[in-house]
Amino acid sequence: MGIRFRGWGIGLPDKIVTNDDLSLTLDTSDEWISERTGIRARRIGGTTRSLGADAGRAALRDAGLEPGDIDFLILATTSADRIAPSTAAMIQDDLGMTCPAMDLNAACSGFVYGLRVAQGLTEVGTRRVMLIGSEHLSRWTDWTDRSTAVLFGDGAGATILEYDEAGSDVLSFVLGTDGASADILACEHESTFTMDGREVFRRAVRVVVDSSEKAIAEAGLTPEDIDLVIPHQANVRIIQAVVERLGIPMERAVVTLDRYGNTSSSSIPLAFHAAREEGRIREGAHALLTGFGAGMTWASSVVKWSPGPGVL
Ligand code: COA
């Protein structure tokens, strides 16, 4: 008994903002940003609603499903368009769906948290869950602060999860939250993100490595069995430090932050989509999904791709 991935889809704004574009208004340079983070460009525009609806629509098409086939919508987001109603409710309407819909905020761990909630829902009788990660972080970015403005981007990714009594694509989960670390990365109402970058970096590597090791062991595997690492995309140096400590070659990690920057809840599904476009998703392959973010939260999950419409 478990869940299977059906289709995937993404939603991205058309506008590309390069590091050179940012260096016109900020005291920064392409050299500093790309060396210190790996980021070269990001997409800016849309809303959490519009990008999420685009991703959800694409996932439905990819899975060959109709809006009425979805029984629950979860939107993982840190940048809801309004306090109320939920952005998920707006997307539900845009997609012509009638199922229950709700937002989930676990910051950049939101997509894997959403996967865990989706699995729980299927265990109590929900057949299909649409899980979207969508972010409009540019709205909550201080464009005069070079220490944060160069990092974030907008975008969305979605998948559809389906109950299967015969087995599961999701083999393990390790989730965590440390609310005592709340102040190292935060955004108040009507304000912008503030961050102690070095501290976030240090703690991120620790919690991602720890939760990944546990998730791999819980799946009955060792790091050598992991064919693909699909990490949250915050800084390529964090990804390098994590895979090195796990003993997994860097070639197995998917990196998309060079084109999209840090898109919080959207970064894992956007990275999955890129891996699929590059032909890196193979039947039977094991992938480690792992993220961390404000909270602090962290979430790691090991999945195994089975054949299914729109996935391989
Ligand atoms: N351009 C040029 N210089 C910059 C800069 C920029 N965009 N941002 C910071 N600097 C400067 C600093 O002012 C500092 O200058 P100083 O030495 O004169 O004081 C210097 O670069 C080093 O700053 P530091 O913060 O130590 O750099 P860093 O190597 O730690 O890189 C981050 C900064 C933010 C890229 C890095 O710490 C990071 O990625 N942290 C994790 C952030 C993260 O993952 N956030 C999202 C969580 S989901």
Co-location of 139 and 203 in the same domain: no
Angle between helices 30-37 and 236-246 (to 10 degrees): 20
Rounded Cα distance, 122 and 85, in Å: 25
Co-location of 153 and 232 in the same domain: no
Instruction: Among 164, 188, 219, give the residue marking a domain's end.
Output: 164
Question: Is-contact 150 33, C-beta < 8 A?
Answer: yes
Ligand 1: list residues with CB < 6 Å.
28, 32-33, 36-37, 108, 146-147, 150, 185, 195, 197-198, 200-201, 204, 234-235, 262, 293
pTM of the complete model beyond 0.85: yes
Rounded Cα distance, 34 and 270, in Å: 20
Which structural domain, as residue segments, surrounds residue 299?
A: 170-304
pLDDT tens per residue, range 185-224: 999 999 999 999 999 999 999 999 999 999 999 999 999 9
Co-location of 6 and 30 in the same domain: yes
Co-location of 86 and 51 in the same domain: yes
Q: Tell me whether residue 94 is in a domain.
A: yes
Q: Tell me whether residue 181 is in a domain.
A: yes
Q: What average pLDDT does range 163-174 have in this prediction? A: 94
Token readout for 225 is: 């069995």
Q: Look up the CATH number of the domain holding residue 286.
A: 3.40.47.10
DSSP string, 33-77: HHHHH---EEE--S-HHHHHHHHHHHHHHHHT--GGG--EEEEE-
Ligand 1 atom 42: the closest Cα is on which residue? 197
Co-location of 75 and 220 in the same domain: no
Co-location of 26 and 160 in the same domain: yes
Q: Tell me whether residue 310 is in a domain.
A: no
Number of domains within the chain: 2
Q: Tell me whether residue 311 is in a domain.
A: no
> pLDDT-derived band of residue 293, with 50, 70 and 90 as boundaries?
very high
Instruction: Among 164, 181, 200, give the residue marking a domain's end.
Output: 164
